Amino acid sequence: MEIDVLKKVPVREQDAKVRATNFEEVCLGYDKEEAMCEATRCINCKNAQCIKGCPVAINIPGFIEKVKEGDIEAAYQIISESSALPAVCGRVCPQESQCEGKCIRGIKGEPVSIGKLERFVADWARENNVKPEGAKESKGKKVAVIGSGPSGLTCAGDLAKMGYDVTIFEALHEPGGVLVYGIPEFRLPKQDVVAKEIENVISLGVKIETNVVVGKSVTIDELLEEEGFDAVFIGSGAGLPKFMGIPGEQANGVFSANEYLTRSNLMKAFDEESNTPIMRGKKVAVVGGGNVAMDAARTALRLGAEVHIVYRRSEEELPARVEEVHHAKEEGIIFDLLTNPTEILEDENGWVSGIKCVRMELGEPDASGRRRPVVIEGSEFTMEVDTVIMSLGTSPNPLISSTTKGLETNKYKCIVAEEEFGKTSKEGVYAGGDAVTGAATVILAMGAGKAAAKGIDEYLGR
Amino acid sequence: MYKILKAEELTTNIYLMDVEAPRVAKSCQPGQFVIVRTDEDAERIPLTICDYDTEAGTITIVFQVVGAATELMKNLKAGDSFHDFVGPLGCPSEFVNEEIESLRSKKILFVAGGLGTAPVYPQVKWLHERGIDADVIVGAKTKDLLIMEEEMKAVAGNLYVTTDDGSYGRSGMVTKVIDDLLTEEGKSYDVCVAIGPMIMMKFVCLTTKKYDLPTVVSMNPIMVDGTGMCGACRLTVDGEVKFACVDGPEFDGHKVDFDQAMKRQQIYKTKEGRAFLKAQEGNTHHGGCGNCGGND
């Protein structure tokens, strides 16, 4: 295989026209030859910057070296030392701003395709039934982990590897958190990838109890005082969806992105044969410009709708990953930028019939450093749509903070936890992920879960 | 899996089940609800809790067959299991946290409509166990649809049963009984708790408003996760958006926008009805759901 050292070995993808009509994975990943070829582009820096860019500090040059040699199993064990969910991270991490953003190769040319290599190694391990190595001996101590999303799975996996007896409590009927209810099938296959990564965590000895809403079914104080847990990690996720507060928002056909995605992903509404179908819109407006908005838009597109992203700033400010925006455009999502909804119109039966918007222009930078959108006078217009999906972020869920004595929250109602080890104001209780930071990324949550596992180990080792 | 210990048909299309769910039973309080799923692919159905036994670790649920999912549920027998059973969800009734002394000085009227009798029961029972006897109005369309009369009689102060068609007890809607009690029969109350179909709760609130009688209602909108994540159950209370699953399910009935809530409840009616009728009638389904015109 011939390569241009300045460029990544290209990765195969489903054609945009074809994939716009199915829920199969968009990116097809490398095969072994392509991966080994891409691995030769890594120059194995002594002072590897990529590791510093990784929130869980994977020994990146180390595993790439093994890929180069064709020893994929060894590469997998190196990744597993730092990450419990490599097949997930290889797919959904924003590598361009993390490991690959720091890659020396990137200064002149394209960085090494670290994400795609990680994905290849993890997929290979799964296909060849290679499992991560578990603990040698038990520490004889019990830790409860609340939530089975990225931070909870990582924290649980790390603690189990250290020899702790870990139980994860999950509120929904299926483990995985946002990996299951939030991120769509075409970006992250549920059965082949997520379920298998969870099996790996279980194979380390972690127990998962579903259908337990901590704060309701049992409290943290009860877990510590009555059920014999020595420490608790809270990774309960982001929380309640935000709405704009404009007229018509309660009309039928207005969904939060959380609801829309949960129905499609967790409840499998995308499947026509499902018992729990979702309304298939003809013309859908998705309000917001983040990764979740892209996921909702691309889901609606696959369900057969004409889809518009309605975002009040310009393309430059879109918070979504460049790759997601690029994929969305390729598939035919229409971007109505510098546009802001002011009212949702309903028909006589209470169903959405349109959305009233105004055009915006960018003014002076605001507190976030981004240029503030300002309404252009007299620019009001109406877009005919039958479905509106609000993707405006979330506010913290009060279920745990309101039922746990001595657990401090900040002015945004997020749980306060020290960044280094995730320690909260309550003894023996650690926290991380979206419950602490507000909505962020899978890998940041994993980094926090990892840090908290260290913190808990130190606390229990005293 | 959550084992069903008892299953019985209370009356046409209304079923009662005792289910083993120790975690739920241990933390359960009046006013809360559960979400159940019959099997791996089933929808999540929110149900009110009718009774709970902390020691035995069981929860009693009562449900009415209204669609495809509840049709599956009614076929479950003692010894079968629910695939999922999660709770207790939502906030307990406000009085649970009130000082018992101040609660004892209050006169409380419960108004239960149809299936709403089930969630009213644990509230009246909770009060009864603390020496407080509340009056209860139970309304049903007709005698055959009346449920739990004996159980309610055992824990209520005065029990007033009424049927819309006059086939049993008093005759007329529950709102008529409220009017009669508060005027002709000289009763007075400090608070009213109404649980039943949304349309009933709306009219109870319009009635109690006339008498300035504070009224609590329990809202049962469409839900998905039941933990605050999806926002499907949102409703407007006093001009503000609230989530029934985490802020409720009980709200000040005089502040709830019922018309909007009822419109929102229609969202999936057609789809659920379709799935159900399609399953039942197969190829012979010719639009009996009233929506698809037989083409679906």
pTM of the model: 0.89
List, for residues A73-106, the tens digit of each pLDDT value. 999 999 998 888 899 989 888 898 899 999 999 9
Mutate which of B1, B36, B81, B225 to disrupt the A interface (most A C-beta within 10 Å)? B225
Predicted local distance difference test score (pLDDT) of residue A366:
82
Q: Do A181 and B229 touch (CB under 8 A)?
A: yes
Long-range contacts of A136-142 (CB under 8 A, 24+ apart): A136/A163, A137/A163, A138/A163, A138/A164, A138/A165, A139/A163, A139/A164, A139/A165, A139/A460, A140/A165, A141/A165, A141/A230, A141/A231, A141/A460, A142/A166, A142/A167, A142/A228, A142/A229, A142/A230
List, for residues A45-70, the tens digit of each pLDDT value. 999 999 999 988 999 999 999 999 99
List, for residues A187-213, the tens digit of each pLDDT value. 999 988 999 999 999 999 999 999 999
Measured between CB atoms, does A245 come within 8 Å of chain B? yes
Residue B40: is it exposed, middle or buried by C-beta count within 10 angstroms (0-12/13-18/19+)?
A: exposed
Measured between CB atoms, does A239 come within 8 Å of chain B? yes
Q: Do B241 and A245 touch (CB under 8 A)?
A: yes
In this complex, the residue of B42, B227, B260 whose CB is nearest that of residue A250 is B260
Q: Are A89 and A447 in contact (CB under 8 A)?
A: no
In this complex, the residue of A213, A245, A253 whose CB is nearest that of residue B227 is A213
CA distance A154 to A137: 19
Q: Which residues of A touch B241 (CB under 8 A)?
A: 243, 245, 249-250
Q: Do B234 and A243 touch (CB under 8 A)?
A: yes
Predicted local distance difference test score (pLDDT) of residue B292:
40
CA distance A83 to A93: 12
CA distance A217 to A212: 6
In one-letter notation, the amino acid at residue A299 is: T
Tokens 């992250």, located at residue? A188
Q: What is the DSSP string of B129-192?
A: HTT---EEEEEESSGGG---HHHHHHH-SSEEEEETTSSSBEES-HHHHHHHHHTTT----SEE
Measured between CB atoms, does A243 come within 8 Å of chain B? yes
In this complex, the residue of B42, B87, B225 whose CB is nearest that of residue A275 is B42
Q: Which residue of B has its CA nearest to A271?
A: B41
The dihedral formed by the CA atoms of A173, A177, A183 and A186, expressed in degrees to the nearest 10? -50
In this complex, the residue of B84, B88, B225 whose CB is nearest that of residue A216 is B88
Q: Which residue of A has its CA nearest to B70?
A: A275
Predicted local distance difference test score (pLDDT) of residue B267:
67
List, for residues A362-387, the tens digit of each pLDDT value. 988 888 788 889 999 999 999 999 99
Mutate which of B52, B54, B230 to disrupt the A interface (most A C-beta within 10 Å)? B230
What is the β-pairing status of strands B191-195 and B215-218? parallel
CA distance B194 to B53: 24
CA distance B48 to A151: 33
Q: Are B32 and B80 in contact (CB under 8 A)?
A: no
- pLDDT band of A350, cuts 50, 70, 90: confident
Predicted local distance difference test score (pLDDT) of residue A424:
96
Q: What is the DSSP letter of A191?
A: I
Q: Do A173 and B44 touch (CB under 8 A)?
A: yes
Q: Do B241 and A239 touch (CB under 8 A)?
A: no
Alpha-carbon radius of gyration of chain B: 19
List, for residues A384-403, the tens digit of each pLDDT value. 999 999 999 998 888 999 89
List, for residues A6-16, the tens digit of each pLDDT value. 999 999 999 99
H or E element, residue A34: helix A32-39
Q: Which residue of B has its CA nearest to A227?
A: B23
> Does residue A241 have a cis peptide bond before it, meaning omega lies within 30 degrees of 0?
no
Q: To the nearest whole number, what is the mean pLDDT of chain A?
A: 92
Predicted local distance difference test score (pLDDT) of residue A353:
95
Predicted local distance difference test score (pLDDT) of residue B281:
46
Q: Do A259 and B37 touch (CB under 8 A)?
A: no
Q: Which residues of B touch A347 (CB under 8 A)?
A: none
Residues 6+ apart with CB under 8 A from A127: none
The 10 Å Cβ neighbour count of residue B254 is: 17
Please count the residue pairs, one from chain A and one from chain B, whose beta carbons lie less than 8 angstroms apart: 115
DSSP reduced 3-state for A185 = coil
- The per-residue pLDDT string of chain B (296 residues; one tens digit each, 9 = 90 and over) reads 999 999 999 998 999 999 999 999 999 999 999 999 998 888 889 998 999 999 999 999 999 998 788 888 999 999 999 999 999 999 999 999 999 999 999 999 999 999 999 999 999 999 999 999 999 999 999 999 999 999 999 999 999 999 999 999 999 999 999 999 999 999 999 999 999 999 999 999 999 999 999 999 999 888 889 999 999 899 999 999 999 999 999 999 999 999 999 888 876 555 554 554 455 444 444 433 334 433 33
Which residues does residue B152 pair with via DSSP β-bridges, in sequence order? Answer: none
Q: Which residues of B touch A213 (CB under 8 A)?
A: 86-87, 89, 227
Q: Of chain A residues 148-207, which have a CB less than 8 A from chain B?
A: 171-173, 181
Predicted local distance difference test score (pLDDT) of residue A83:
87
What is the β-pairing status of strands A142-146 and A165-169? parallel
CA end-to-end span of chain B: 35
Predicted local distance difference test score (pLDDT) of residue A277:
64
List, for residues A156-186, the tens digit of each pLDDT value. 999 998 999 999 999 999 999 999 999 999 9
Which residues does residue B136 pair with via DSSP β-bridges, in sequence order? Answer: B110, B159
Q: For B163, list phi and psi in degrees, rounded to 5.
A: -120, 145
Q: Are B25 and B59 in contact (CB under 8 A)?
A: yes
Tell me: pLDDT of A287 over 60: yes
Q: Which residues of A touch B88 (CB under 8 A)?
A: 216-217
Q: Of chain A residues 263-292, which have a CB less than 8 A from chain B?
A: 263, 267-268, 274-277, 279
